[in-house]
A = this chain, B = another copy of it.
Amino acid sequence: MTAGVSSSSTEDAFSLERYLDHERKGVEAALEAALDRLLPLLPPQVREAVRQGVLSGGKRLRPVLCMAAYRACGGSDREGVAHVAAALEFIHAYSLMHDDLPCMDDAPLRRGRPTPHAVHGEAPTVLGGGALIPGAHLHLWRSASEMGLPPAACRELVAILAQAAGAGGMVGGQALDLLGEGRRLERDELDGLHRRKTGALLTAALSMGAVAARADSQVRKALEDYGRAIGLAFQIADDVLDATADAQALGKNPSDAELDKSTYVALLGVDEARGEARRLVRLALASLEGGGVESPALEALASYVVERER
């Protein structure tokens, strides 16, 4: 069916580990460059909160997906698309910074380390998050222009990101998640919440890669369908991890159960949730195939999303 699967036993098999390692280096370099412009404009405490929020590790899944989609569509400017993709991580970082605040999820740890507000204070974290949003838009614009993309494509990229970050996307989903605590959501409500909270930005990553590579609408749609499927799979896997791993392995706390959140595990149980995540991965792969998109990277990333350990 695909290069990634058919060559998995050969010498030049696609190595997800090597691939992620390489791509993440590109993302880190792009993030450092983007921060070099943004940070000098901020006072030291805010600067450090933003630096920590953006640079303290993480899977870099959104930018990696954006870059993989771009390559799958035949794009060849690897460095240029890494800068475009970094804008996604600015938005993701802001959302985590605000989400971990005491008045929100009140999380002192993330990825095993103290959260930005725990180290640098709440006010610098609120302000730094606020600076990352227009910062992401401006950075995206500059990066897209520097790739030589036509103005209409630059504009579309910024609109995709703003839409995904906004009320109809990520921040609306965060709001539903946080304020829905204590009430048991039905499956369709839970899907709707996570399609916005995590799905919108993950899907935007795929759309942005397609637009940056000037892909046709059929390919773009296939990539977006893939994004929606793995977005939901990602969240289900997150719920399974939260229910089965201890805080140390996960690197964060408190747990969903402590926060009294609706989860796929509460709704389906661990086994059925795992099965549902795998079903969505198959759906994602079928979307790629249906759109004629051949990409060992995207195929491997789909499995990674549900098989990861944090």
A residues sitting closer than 8 Å to B (CB atoms) are: 38-39, 41-43, 45-46, 94-95, 98, 101-104, 121-124, 126-131, 133-135, 137-138, 141, 151-152, 154-155, 158-159, 161-163, 165-168, 171-172, 174-176, 178-180
Q: Tell whether, in the assembled complex, residue A175 and residue B43 are in contact, meaning their CB atoms are under 8 Å apart.
A: yes
Q: Tell whether, in the assembled complex, residue B98 and residue A174 are in contact, meaning their CB atoms are under 8 Å apart.
A: no
Complex CA–CA separation, A133 to B155 (angstroms): 17
Question: Given B129, B133, B151, B162, which contacts A152 in the complex, CB threshold below 8 Å?
Answer: B151
Q: Tell whether, in the assembled complex, residue A162 and residue B134 are in contact, meaning their CB atoms are under 8 Å apart.
A: yes
Q: Tell whether, in the assembled complex, residue B138 and residue A175 are in contact, meaning their CB atoms are under 8 Å apart.
A: no
Q: How far is the CB of A39 from chain B (nearest CB, A)?
A: 8
Q: How far is the CB of A222 from chain B (nearest CB, A)?
A: 26
Chain B residues with Cβ below 8 Å from A180 are 43
Copy tally for this chain in the complex stands at 2
Chain B residues with Cβ below 8 Å from A137 are 134, 137, 158, 162
Q: Tell whether, in the assembled complex, residue B151 and residue A122 are in contact, meaning their CB atoms are under 8 Å apart.
A: no
Chain B residues with Cβ below 8 Å from A124 are 175, 179
Complex CA–CA separation, A138 to B38 (angstroms): 22
Q: Tell whether, in the assembled complex, residue A175 and residue B133 are in contact, meaning their CB atoms are under 8 Å apart.
A: no
Complex CA–CA separation, A101 to B134 (angstroms): 21
Q: Tell whether, in the assembled complex, residue A166 and residue B138 are in contact, meaning their CB atoms are under 8 Å apart.
A: yes
A-B contact pairs, 6 of them (CB 8 A): A42-B167, A103-B121, A123-B179, A127-B175, A130-B130, A138-B166
Chain B residues with Cβ below 8 Å from A102 are 103
Q: How far is the CB of A223 from chain B (nearest CB, A)?
A: 22
Question: Given B45, B128, B134, B159, which contacts A133 in the complex, CB threshold below 8 Å?
Answer: B134
| With A43-B172, A94-B130, A151-B151 already in contact, 6 other A-B pairs whose C-beta atoms are closer than 8 Å | A42-B175, A126-B126, A127-B175, A135-B167, A151-B155, A158-B158
Q: How far is the CB of A122 from chain B (nearest CB, A)?
A: 4
Chain B residues with Cβ below 8 Å from A38 are 167
Chain B residue at smallest Cβ distance from A105: B123
Chain B residues with Cβ below 8 Å from A103 are 101-103, 121-123, 126
Complex CA–CA separation, A176 to B165 (angstroms): 26
Q: Tell whether, in the assembled complex, residue B127 and residue A129 are in contact, meaning their CB atoms are under 8 Å apart.
A: no
Chain B residue at smallest Cβ distance from A104: B123
Chain B residues with Cβ below 8 Å from A104 are 123, 126-127
Q: Which of A38, A138, A161, A162 has the most CB of B within 10 A?
A: A162
8 A-B pairs with least C-beta separation: A103-B122, A134-B166, A41-B167, A134-B162, A131-B167, A133-B133, A41-B168, A46-B175
